[in-house]
């Protein structure tokens, strides 16, 4: 049994999601075109970031995982290779691919994860922490860990994007190191859950849409009306409980004086008045409200 980085991240969000991805993937919803577009954008942004590491070599994945791991090992051993893109590593059944590895002095490496977001998100830390864990246990000396994300102040000048201005780099080395003990524990739990004959019992909740909308959402959640309070972006579990305690299940019935964030109140007003509102929200929020989302 192997756990990839993607599976690990699914398990961090919800152990049942991980289990279903591995053992019952047929229960998932059809891929969302918007989510696929975000993945495509992420790929384009990743290619742009590679321009900052001239001479870097992409690991060929056509021969499968084992070949990619072998090929990565050869590139690591070749001092003439300044950077490796999509390097593949495995340690005790956990498999990761690193966006960018830059060779530093004395056989050290800089790990760079590229994200097409405008800022650091909490789940990015686990994303790089699992890579760091596998790389280090594969014998690579990772001296620093960085996140490259989009510079929201960047303005296109001319016709081509300048990657030096387009990206901002954040050093996550210490934060990622601090996560390592918890990560080992998480990995153990994930392997244990995957060996079980049935999925774990996990109640639904805010984690079903955060940090991404779970592809098993409609499997686990009984269908709710489009104006259900659960669709209010980032509604905290305690606020949800409070509303349910008041007998409020529809966004239309949320009282004017109920405490919401500014953004939630705008969504609520748009639903209650039927008047559209144009705004900016983070990607990954749930769905079919009559509010228009622009990916941040």
Task: Find the shortest distance in angstroms from Cβ 210 to ligand SF4.
Answer: 9
Task: Find the shortest distance in angstroms from Cβ 208 to ligand SF4.
Answer: 3
Say how far apart CA 44 and CA 53 lie, in whole Å: 15
Using CB under 6 A as the criterion, which residues of the chain lie in contact with ligand SF4 when the complex forms?
Answer: 13-14, 16-17, 20, 202, 204, 207-208, 214, 216-217, 220
- Considering beta carbons, is residue 5 or 16 the nearer one to ligand SF4? 16
**Phi, psi (deg, nearest 5) at residue 246:** -90, 0
- Considering beta carbons, is residue 203 or 274 the nearer one to ligand SF4? 203
Say how far apart CA 47 and CA 29 lie, in whole Å: 29
Closest CA to 258 of 229, 282, 227: 229
Task: Find the shortest distance in angstroms from Cβ 144 to ligand SF4.
Answer: 33
What DSSP line would sit under 216-237, residue for residue? THHHHSPP--TTBGGGSTT--H
- Considering beta carbons, is residue 17 or 149 the nearer one to ligand SF4? 17
Task: Find the shortest distance in angstroms from Cβ 17 to ligand SF4.
Answer: 4
- Considering beta carbons, is residue 53 or 216 the nearer one to ligand SF4? 216
Q: CA of 174: how far to CAs of 1, 49, 119, 125, in Å?
A: 30, 23, 18, 11
Q: How many CA atoms lie within 13 A of 139 on its CB side?
A: 6
Q: CA of 14: how far to CAs of 9, 83, 185, in Å?
A: 9, 34, 15
Task: Find the shortest distance in angstroms from Cβ 201 to ligand SF4.
Answer: 9
3-state secondary structure of 211: coil
- Considering beta carbons, is residue 89 or 216 the nearer one to ligand SF4? 216
Q: Which two tokens stand for residue 262?
A: 């500014």
């Amino acid at each position: 049994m192997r756990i990839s980085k993607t599976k690990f991240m699914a398990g961090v969000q919800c152990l049942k999601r991980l289990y279903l991805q591995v053992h019952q993937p047929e229960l998932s919803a059809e891929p969302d075109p918007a989510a696929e577009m975000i993945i495509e954008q992420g790929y384009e942004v990743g290619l742009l970031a590679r321009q900052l590491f001239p001479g870097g070599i992409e690991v060929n994945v056509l021969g499968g995982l084992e070949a990619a791991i072998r090929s990565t090992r050869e590139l690591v051993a070749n001092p003439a290779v300044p950077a490796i893109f999509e390097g593949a590593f495995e340690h005790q059944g956990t498999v990761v691919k690193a966006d960018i590895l830059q060779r530093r002095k004395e056989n050290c490496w800089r790990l760079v994860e590229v994200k097409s977001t405008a800022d650091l998100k909490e789940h990015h830390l686990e994303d790089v922490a699992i890579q760091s864990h596998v790389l280090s246990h594969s014998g690579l000396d990772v001296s620093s860990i960085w996140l490259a994300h989009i510079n929201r102040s960047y303005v296109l000048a001319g016709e081509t994007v300048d990657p030096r201005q387009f990206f901002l780099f954040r050093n996550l080395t210490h934060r990622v190191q601090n996560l390592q003990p918890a990560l080992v524990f998480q990995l153990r739990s994930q392997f244990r859950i995957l060996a079980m004959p049935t999925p774990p019992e996990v109640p639904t909740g805010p984690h079903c849409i955060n940090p991404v909308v779970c592809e098993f959402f409609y499997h686990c959640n009984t269908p709710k009306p489009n104006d259900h309070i659960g669709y209010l972006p980032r509604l905290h579990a305690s606020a949800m409980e409070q509303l349910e305690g008041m007998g409020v299940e529809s966004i239309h019935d949320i009282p004017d004086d109920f405490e919401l964030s500014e953004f939630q109140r705008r969504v609520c007003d748009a639903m209650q008045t039927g008047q559209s509102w144009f705004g900016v929200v983070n990607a990954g929020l749930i769905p079919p409200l009559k509010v228009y989302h622009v990916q941040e």
